[in-house]
Structure 1
């Protein structure tokens, strides 16, 4: 058949030996109605469609379980402001590379509005069903939304460890507990026994994991930990002032931008890093080399994280397509944690005598 010929549903029906209403139902019907069609009939119609130039509406194709070849990406926070892009760019690079490898297109969901710095996954303008499945990105994810998404059986994988829904959320994350524990043990080995910790609010699993590693290592080495939280209403200067009386010899800083600000504050106060005070950063910007110091820090495998999330999602999609019939049962969700690397840097040394 000529590729310039407009293929209609009637032509597909004739070629498949079915009624036009059957073709219409396969393409545009509700999922539960389409599934009442015998599997052999449905497969015959879909095969004819694949052999012709007819292109089904992507929404209809996803409703009946046919692949659109689209992988969705939903970010709870805007992905492209300067500060956010430092975190998201490597993730998106990995996602893009892996999607290219499996021959999928990416669809970035941006239609839901940003309210108080975050998007809602379920919104009247939500178009998740345009994609076969979705990768979720965000420091914090609404646990109620994750549970609702699980109940819908829509395929997705979250980036970052998630505790919601009784541990049923599929994710690919970073083992921050082990990584921060290793950094704190290194500080103990150098002789530090008074730790400071400038952390973000404990509303995200990644923040809780970072703190857990530091606290566990400190307890094992009889070290103290003076903590302060940095928030939009509490500056790095305020947080540092609250822990300074404890005279820490090393300060662990969760957010790289906060570490840069702390370094400037210390310099203004005449405190030399690392001669007077060691500073360790529990993360890394893309532009670490542009910072005020070669910080001792963690480096998360964010590009690999994005790629592994795509592979985990495509594994789920392939398993579903290979299933003989739609099923609500499934094996355990993918829950994988990748290792961080430790960048030695130059800001962690033995404490001053």
Structure 2
């Protein structure tokens, strides 16, 4: 039977001590170049694979980042998947791997993470977070980053977030420039910081252009397709000429309601979505026959930057606690000048 050679056999083949092989494998301690080459040659010939767990325990470092995702209805899976891909890319670029912790709404992850030797740092993301997890790792000085803006009582957490204020303000101003003054906003909840920032961006744009904020044009708690449908039904009673919709599912429901009322996009109402999700764009195009104008979140770059920020923290570098990345506004045929 073939078996994996061990460190003792590498040492014997190279004619050196076990400690010398360990120093070469872990790149620690003084070893002459000649001896190092002998050890590397023996490693190659024997196809020796170091025991990663043993190495991690010896170095007290795993080169692995943890990722915890608090998933929530109303958030399209592709949203998280792209961020996770970005985290993977960012970690890999700096020599780290990724360990994803199984999701459970009622489970606390902080003790599992900080008491184990599995990961060197952790990234949290999701809508309904466990604030105690964040407080616990923060107070213990364990390197972490949250994806998305969060305010947590008693601490200033490390986070990286899309600049939702700037992004929503940009989209609202675009509609104002097209001549719209009755602009609806279908959001999720002002109790969640990113969604509250979207509302602030919307309000800032109105204020800048001397338009009065009308709360009857704003609908919250819209997470699912049915929520978006119902919100749009109510919003249409207020005779808006344009609307910005918070998420993928709500956009699908809202456009269904618009079509049922016999209204046309963009002739009767201009529509802007959030997230620039490919599936949503395809459904919108099939259903309405237009390209959806969207506020694009650079999700892969967001994940990549979260990974690099976490690694910078665990390496002892100075890192700003609040970090933002810009959004892009994609102008398409779902908006019309009045």
- TM-score category, normalised to shorter length: 0.7 to 0.9
Which residue does 2:251 correspond to in 1?
259
Equivalent residues in 2 for 1:106-125, closer than 5 Å: 106-110=98-102, 113-115=104-106, 120-122=108-110
Equivalent residues in 2 for 1:168-179, closer than 5 Å: 168-179=156-167
Matched, 1:227 2:212: no
- Quickly say closer, same or farther: Cα 1:128–1:185, change in 2 above 3 A: farther
2:6 pairs with 4, 23, 30, which one?
4
- Quickly say closer, same or farther: Cα 1:274–1:158, change in 2 above 3 A: same
Is the CA contact 1:72–1:109 (under 8 Å) kept in the aligned structure 2? Answer: yes
Equivalent residues in 2 for 1:234-273, closer than 5 Å: 235-273=227-265
2:296 pairs with 286, 295, 299, which one?
299
Instruction: Write the distance in 1 (CA, Å) between the matches of 2:163 and 2:320.
Output: 17
Where in structure 2 are there 5+ consecutive unaligned residues? 10-17, 21-25, 40-48, 286-290
- Quickly say closer, same or farther: Cα 1:104–1:57, change in 2 above 3 A: same
Is the CA contact 2:90–2:308 (under 8 Å) kept in the aligned structure 1? Answer: yes
Which residue does 1:10 correspond to in 2?
none
- TM-score, with length taken from structure 2: 0.77
- Deviation at residue 242 of structure 1 after TM alignment: 2.6
Query: RMSD between aligned alpha carbons?
Result: 3.6
- Deviation at residue 194 of structure 1 after TM alignment: 0.8
Is the CA contact 2:71–2:126 (under 8 Å) kept in the aligned structure 1? Answer: yes
Instruction: Write the distance in 1 (CA, Å) between the matches of 2:311 and 2:143.
Output: 9
- Deviation at residue 166 of structure 1 after TM alignment: 5.1
Is the CA contact 2:66–2:121 (under 8 Å) kept in the aligned structure 1? Answer: yes
Equivalent residues in 2 for 1:153-192, closer than 5 Å: 153-165=141-153, 168-192=156-180
- Deviation at residue 316 of structure 1 after TM alignment: 1.4
Secondary structure (helix, strand or coil) at the match of 2:109 reads: coil
- Deviation at residue 56 of structure 1 after TM alignment: 7.2
Secondary structure (helix, strand or coil) at the match of 1:291 reads: helix
Which residue does 1:77 correspond to in 2?
71
Which residue does 1:318 correspond to in 2?
315
How many pairs were matched up?
Answer: 303
- TM-score, with length taken from structure 1: 0.74
Which residue does 1:343 correspond to in 2?
330
Where in structure 1 are there 5+ consecutive unaligned residues? 8-13, 17-44, 321-330
Is the CA contact 1:249–1:278 (under 8 Å) kept in the aligned structure 2? Answer: yes
Instruction: Write the distance in 2 (CA, Å) between the matches of 1:260 and 1:234.
Output: 9
1:211 pairs with 173, 176, 199, which one?
199
2:61 pairs with 51, 64, 67, which one?
67
- Quickly say closer, same or farther: Cα 1:275–1:120, change in 2 above 3 A: farther
Matched, 1:145 2:133: yes
Matched, 1:201 2:189: yes
- Deviation at residue 223 of structure 1 after TM alignment: 4.2
Is the CA contact 2:113–2:119 (under 8 Å) kept in the aligned structure 1? Answer: no
- Deviation at residue 107 of structure 1 after TM alignment: 0.7
